């Protein structure tokens, strides 16, 4: 056998051996089970039903006109129409509200227009609406006793998750106003505080120190410095705040740190000035303390109280029919002195002074003396070195009694403290 035939035979033997091995492996390994062929019988011939859409019923809001008619019918059981009534309450103002911790919606109502003072009191009430019926939760006659209430819906503010305040603004007499805070805890109405003012707004809510909590600002402005029509007024405010369980008065507060180099010293000085109603200087110094420590809660509170008073006093000086007093009330003694400087001593220290004659102070000299002394004497105790204070008290003493020796005492002290102010010495020389 030649070499070519030998190689051919060898290749054939190898191929046969490989094929034999492959067939042996295939026989040893079972074939995977074939899945059942796809059949149209596996699909149901029953069509799938499509759900019928349903309309969600949204309850319509209760009819507040029905509530108003219900309340009015209780006021006038003889079926007198509100529009026909000319001698009493003619309508109901309504405001819906809700408390965070109570799922029930509420409606606050207040009576409005003029009440019949002999038979009626203005009131506030809270209602809810269940089973298609209005139900009264609580009712309260207003302790502030307004004669007139506006028809605006009451202002309701949530103070706690389960407590709301209802603000009441009303009018009494010819030009006086009343203010009241009525609380509601989900069950009962209670009068928390009332205020009266002989003119203008008697109170309001404001977060004066920007801490997220509303303070109650009671406007106690004195409108009868002389007569009401005279127009001289002194702004006065009382501030109260909710502490979580009751309303407490908010007042100026001293710092407990007495380091004279700390901003606390500035705060304490501003508090002293505010306590004697030197509001202009108090605001300047308090602003300095806040510039050094703007996050101090005591500083922020004091700053807010002082700013409230100082801004009001400054505004009153700009439109005062008798600037002398309003500058003194504000604590701007230099501007008050500027009212005297154009005049001679003989024009100042006389009962016929042009500072009084033909002004709103004419005929009200005793009141003028009272207000000067009441304002200036406390400041002199705080700052005995104030020449202006001594001069104002000298003039007040003269108006009360030209022969009072205190006139000379005060003028001598003023001249001693500020010899550069020529008016003091000139007035003293004139009176001698």
Q: Over 50: is that where the pLDDT of 251 sits?
A: yes
Using CA atoms, how far apart are residues 65 and 81, in angstroms rounded to an integer?
14
Residue 390 lies in a domain: yes
Q: Over 60: is that where the pLDDT of 102 sits?
A: yes
Q: Over 50: is that where the pLDDT of 235 sits?
A: yes
CATH classification at residue 372: 1.25.40
3-class state of residue 204 by DSSP: strand
Radius of gyration of the chain (CA): 43
Q: Residue 377 burial by CB count (10 A; 0-12/13-18/19+): exposed, middle or buried?
A: middle
For 238-249, what is each residue's pLDDT tens digit?
A: 999 999 889 999
Residue 161 lies in a domain: no
Residue 413 lies in a domain: yes
Residue 364 lies in a domain: yes
pLDDT score at 57: 54
For 374-398, what is each residue's pLDDT tens digit?
A: 999 999 999 999 999 999 999 999 9
Residue 38 lies in a domain: no
CA distances from 238 to 23, 36, 209, 218, 223 (A): 108, 92, 15, 5, 16
End-to-end CA distance of the chain: 168
Residue 314 lies in a domain: no
User: For the chain, what is the domain count?
Assistant: 1
For 293-307, what is each residue's pLDDT tens digit?
A: 999 999 999 999 999
Q: Over 50: is that where the pLDDT of 214 sits?
A: yes
For 42-55, what is each residue's pLDDT tens digit?
A: 334 444 455 555 55
Residue 346 lies in a domain: yes
Going through 224-287 in order, the beta strands assigned E by DSSP cover 237-242, 247-250
Residue 61 lies in a domain: no
Domain that holds residue 376: 340-431
Instruction: Give the predicted TM-score (pTM) of the model.
Output: 0.82
């Amino acid at each position: 056998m030649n070499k070519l035939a030998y190689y051919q035979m060898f290749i054939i033997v190898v191929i046969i051996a490989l094929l034999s091995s492959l067939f042996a492996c295939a026989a040893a390994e079972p074939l995977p089970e074939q899945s059942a062929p796809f059949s149209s019988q596996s699909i149901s011939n029953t069509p799938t039903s499509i759900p019928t859409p349903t309309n969600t019923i949204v309850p319509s809001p209760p009819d507040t006109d029905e509530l108003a008619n219900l309340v009015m019918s209780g006021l006038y059981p003889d079926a007198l129409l509100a529009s026909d009534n000319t001698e009493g309450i003619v309508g109901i103002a309504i405001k819906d509200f809700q408390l965070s911790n109570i799922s029930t919606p509420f409606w606050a109502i207040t009576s409005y227009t003029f009440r019949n003072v002999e038979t009626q009191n203005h009131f506030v009430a809270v209602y809810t609406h269940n089973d298609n019926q209005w139900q009264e939760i609580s009712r309260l006659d207003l302790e502030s006793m307004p004669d007139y209430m506006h028809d605006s819906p009451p202002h309701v503010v949530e103070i706690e998750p389960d407590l709301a305040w209802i603000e009441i603004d009303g009018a009494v007499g010819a030009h006086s106003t009343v203010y009241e805070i009525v609380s509601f805890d989900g069950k009962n109405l209670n009068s928390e505080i009332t205020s009266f003012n002989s003119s203008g707004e008697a109170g309001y809510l404001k977060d004066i120190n920007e801490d997220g909590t509303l303070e109650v600002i009671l406007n106690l402005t004195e409108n009868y410095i002389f007569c009401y029509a005279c127009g001289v007024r002194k702004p006065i405010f009382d501030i109260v705040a909710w502490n979580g369980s009751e309303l407490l008065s908010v007042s100026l507060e001293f710092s407990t740190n007495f380091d004279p180099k700390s901003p606390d010293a500035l705060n304490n000085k501003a508090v002293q000035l505010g306590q004697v109603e030197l509001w202009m200087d108090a605001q300047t110094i308090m602003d300095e303390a806040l510039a050094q420590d703007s996050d101090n809660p005591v500083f922020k509170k004091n700053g807010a109280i002082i700013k409230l008073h100082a801004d009001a006093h400054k505004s009153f000086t700009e439109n005062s029919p008798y600037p002398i007093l309003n500058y003194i009330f504000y604590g701007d003694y230099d501007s008050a002195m500027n009212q005297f400087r154009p005049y001679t001593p003989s024009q100042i220290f006389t009962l016929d002074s042009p500072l009084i004659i033909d002004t709103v102070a004419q005929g009200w000299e005793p009141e003028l003396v009272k207000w000067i002394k009441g304002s200036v004497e406390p400041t002199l105790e705080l700052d005995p070195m104030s020449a202006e204070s001594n001069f104002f008290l000298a003039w007040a003493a003269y108006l009360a009694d030209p022969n009072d020796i205190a006139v000379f005492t005060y003028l001598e002290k003023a001249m001693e403290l500020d010899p550069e102010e020529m008016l003091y010495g000139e007035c003293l020389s004139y009176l001698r």
